[in-house]
Amino acid sequence: MIKAYILLITYVGNLKAVLEELRKLDHIESISVVAGDYDIIVKARVDALEDLMTLTDNIHAIKGVKRTNTQVIEKEIEV
């Protein structure tokens, strides 16, 4: 199993529409709207790197997404 954080920057005024589309996608563990350099942080869980590519492709296809930055998790400590 591969987990990754996908950090999204959207064009101003598209946040709500992007969120609506994101919530329809598979392999997503959580979606957070944040205040900071990014707009949305998606945590993804996929079986193979190829699924991660499909997911990022799908995210890129959403209208209003300006840029994404994928951080693949190597080791995670969690409660």
Binding site for another protein (CB under 8 A): 3-5, 7, 23, 25-38, 41, 69-79
Amino acid at 17: A
Q: Which is nearer to another protein, 49 or 63 (CB)?
A: 49
> Measured from the CB of residue 17, what is the shortest distance to another protein in angstroms?
15
DSSP, collapsed to helix, strand or coil, labels residue 6 as strand
13, 63 Cβ separation under 8 angstroms: no
> Measured from the CB of residue 35, what is the shortest distance to another protein in angstroms?
5
> Measured from the CB of residue 44, what is the shortest distance to another protein in angstroms?
11
Kindly state the helix (H) or strand (E) to which residue 61 belongs, with its residue range. helix 49-61
